[in-house]
Amino acid sequence: MQLFIDSANLEEIREVSRWGIIDGVTTNPTLIAKEGKDFRQLIKEICEIVDGPISVEAISMQGGEIIKEARGLSRIHKNIVVKIPLTKEGLKAVKVLSKEGIKTNVTLCFSATQALLSAKAGANFVSPFVGRLDDISGRGMDLVREICTIFHNYHFPTQVIVASVRHPLHVLEAALLGADIATCPFPVLEQLLKHPLTDIGIKRFLEDWEKIPKKRDKRPR
Ligand code: E4P
């Protein structure tokens, strides 16, 4: 399973890339706006940190305009994946861009039929937003299950990015369902790592180490 970080914050991206667990990055206009930096420069810097798919969202709404914008975004770096909202115009753009070899991530997916259409249009990735469904008493992970089944049934190459992840259980369930990718905010990646028994275990081992009689150097060689 691949893990992406859902962030445009350079410190967060740098930190998790040092952990050796990050395969890609997803951004959106909200995340970019939080950083208050020049858009293209910020994207270039992200591409220098992570060598994997970097999703950047197009903001145009008409097919032709989306295509033009996507071509421009894809020139920033070879790893750019253009995020395109799940609309009729978006699908038209995905079809053209897939023929040009420009990678697309169809975003704001809230139903399995939307995901099916994205795959048929030739999207490289589709992003079901599980947290936003849970927020309105939907079942985000049921959507992921349906999409994974459909893509498996028909051998669609489109990869599923579980997005709008709010907590570690979303990641665990995504992995159990066989979703290709989960994109997680930095705090969720930290939560995946932490376990109180690990901390208690380390504390106890270090305390016990102090009780061992040592002749010269205190530290093991
Ligand atoms: C994914 O590509 C989106 O950027 C993101 O996961 C949206 O998450 P949110 O619902 O927490 O804003």
List of residues 6+ apart from 167 with CB closer than 8 A: 188, 191
At residue 215, the pLDDT reads: 80
User: Of 57, 164, 181, 186, which is best to mutate to test ligand 1, by the most ligand atoms within 8 angstroms of its C-beta?
Assistant: 164
Sign of CA dihedral 130, 144, 108, 165: positive
**Cα distance between residue 1 and residue 5, in whole Å:** 13
3-class DSSP state of 86:
coil
Ligand 1 is surrounded, with C-beta below 6 A, by 6, 26, 28, 107, 127, 129, 131-132, 163-164, 183
Task: Point out the ligand 1 atom lying closest to the alpha carbon of residue 27.
Answer: 4
In the prediction, which pLDDT does 53 show?
A: 98
Atom 10 in ligand 1: residue holding the nearest Cα: 164
> Please, what are the domains in the chain?
2-208 (3.20.20.70)
pLDDT of residue 128: 98
Residue 161 CA, chain-centre distance (Å), reads 6
Q: What is the pTM of this model?
A: 0.95
Beta bridge partners of 109: 128
| Model pLDDT, residue 185 | 98
Q: Name the CA dihedral angle for 146, 150, 152, 155, rounded to a multiple of 10 degrees.
A: -160
- Across 137-202, the runs of DSSP E, i.e. the strands, are 159-162, 181-184
- Alpha-carbon distance of 31 to 189, in angstroms, equals 17
- Ligand 1 closest atom vs CA 31: 4
Which among 44, 78, 83, 103 is annotated as catalytic?
Answer: 83
pLDDT value at residue 113: 98
Closest residue to atom 12 of ligand 1, CA basis: 164
Six-digit token string for 71: 């071509």
Residues of the chain with pLDDT under 70: 217-221
Nearest to 70 by CA among 54, 86, 58: 58
Query: What pLDDT score was predicted for residue 190?
Result: 98
Q: Could you confirm whether 218 is annotated as catalytic?
A: no
